[in-house]
Amino acid sequence: MVTGNDHHADPVRRGHQQDNGYQPELAPGEAVVGTGRISAARQVRPVLRMLPFTRSQLATLDDMLVWASRSARLHFGIYLGDLGPDTRTRAEELHDSLGERAEDAVLVAVSPGQRVVEVVTGCKAANRLPDRGCKLAVESMISSFKGGDLAGGLSSGLRMLADHTES
């Protein structure tokens, strides 16, 4: 799961250029964002031969998660992968796994192989994010996904969700 409020565990900020000019190599699924922080996507299951996003797309998604979370004052997250036979229940389980953050969280769960998008909101987030805003964001994401733009669809969906959040 990728989230906008998580920080990389390495306090040295491996992607930040060191005083001696050394730039360490990034692991697959990692990208350096403009602030020097590393955005990292981690596989829950065995690593695929080809990751679904480029480093640039990962950086853009991370920036969008941070922006949406700050702008809406909610915790936004993305899950990308198979959701099993009961997609809604699995998406809700993933949302609940956020623990204390779940009440103020919005999870966008996407299963491209199943052609499913689920948006799950915590109880406090649901009071501020109307169903209509969620529906419009999902429709926008699906339109981008059909055109083959997974990263762009997720970015625009996050933007729309944040924009539809009421104070």
pLDDT of residue 48: 55
Q: Backbone phi, then psi, for 27, in 5-degree steps?
A: -75, 160
| Tens-place pLDDT, residues 106-120 | 999 999 999 999 999
Whether the pLDDT of residue 8 is over 50: the answer is no
| Tens-place pLDDT, residues 19-47 | 445 455 787 778 887 777 777 776 666 55
pLDDT of residue 67: 96
| Tens-place pLDDT, residues 65-111 | 999 999 999 999 999 999 999 999 999 999 999 888 999 999 999 99
Mean pLDDT of the region 142-164: 96
CB 24 within 8 A of CB 14: yes
DSSP notation for the chain: -EESS---S-TT-TTSPPTT---PPPPTTEEE-TTSPEEE---SSSPPSS-SS-HHHHHHHHHHHHHHHHHHTSEEEEEES---SSHHHHHHHHHHTTGGGGGGEEEEEEETTTTEEEEEE-HHHHHHS-HHHHHHHHHHHHHHHHTT-HHHHHHHHHHHHHHT---
Contacts for 9 with CB less than 8 Å, ≥ 6 apart:
none
Interior angle at CA 64, CA 36 and CA 87, nearest 5: 125
For domain 2-163, give the fold. Diaminopimelate Epimerase; Chain A, domain 1 (3.10.310)
The structure's pTM equals 0.71
Structure tokens at 142: 């699906």
Q: How far apart are CA 128 and CA 106, in angstroms?
A: 11
Higher pLDDT, 39 or 145: 145
Nearest to residue 104, comparing CAs of 69, 61, 135? 69
pLDDT of residue 11: 38
